Amino acid sequence: MSTYVITGGTTGIGAATRKLLQAQGHEVFNIDFKGGDYLADLSTQEGRQGAIDEVFRRYPDGIDVLICNAGVGPTAPPQMIFALNFFASVRIAEALRPLLKKKRGNCVITSSNSITNMTVRMDWVDMLSNVMDEERILEFVKDIPRTQTASCYSSSKHALARWVRRISPSWAVDGLRINSVAPGNTTTPMTQNMTDAQMDAALLIPIPTRYGRKEFLDAEEIANGIVFLASPMASGINGVILFVDGGIDALLRSERF
User: Which amino acid, one-letter code, is at 226?
Assistant: I
| Residue 59 annotated as catalytic | no
What is the DSSP-derived secondary structure letter of residue 82?
I
Q: How far is Cα 14 from Cα 23, in angstroms, rounded to an integer?
A: 14
Q: 38, 59, 153, 211: which is the annotated catalytic residue?
A: 153
Q: How far is Cα 243 from Cα 222, in angstroms, rounded to an integer?
A: 9
Q: How far is Cα 52 from Cα 199, in angstroms, rounded to an integer?
A: 38
Tell me the CA distances in angstroms from 120 to 85, 112, 244, one per residue in order.
Answer: 14, 12, 19
Q: How far is Cα 142 from Cα 208, in angstroms, rounded to an integer?
A: 37
User: H or E segment at 110?
Assistant: strand 106-110
Catalytic residues: 153
